[in-house]
Amino acid sequence: MKSVAALGHEAVLRTKAPVDSEIGDVAIVNLGSSTLDPAEIVPALHEKGVKVIAHAGHKEKELHDMGRGLECERLVTNSELTYKLEQILSSFS
């Protein structure tokens, strides 16, 4: 959250699907989340026109496969999200 804000973006942390008034342009979804089911949240975000950056560990191949199957706009590793966040976000500008 701090990294996103430091790059000049408004960051909002959600532990459930957002309502229409809380929709942003891009969502970052942890494919390994224990609180949000990516198979539910990603299609719901897409229906609202939100682009999805999905992330998982580089060894979590099954999660990356799931992200591809959910047609996430961008699929990255956790370390890419940490070290290349500015480039990743700028690709949606």
Complete domains list, the chain, with CATH: 2-12+25-90 (3.40.50.1000)
Angle between helices 38-47 and 61-69 (to 10 degrees): 30
Nearest CA-CA partner of 50 in 11, 29, 90, 23: 23
Q: Kindly report the pTM of this predicted structure.
A: 0.82
- Pull the structure tokens for residue 16: 């459930």
Given this model, what pLDDT does residue 11 score? 60
Cα–Cα distance measured from residue 85 to residue 3, given in angstroms and rounded to the nearest whole number: 8
* Residue 57: pLDDT band with limits 50, 70, 90: very high
E strand spans, 1-93: 26-30, 51-56, 74-77
Angle (CA) 46-9-28 rounded to 5° is 35
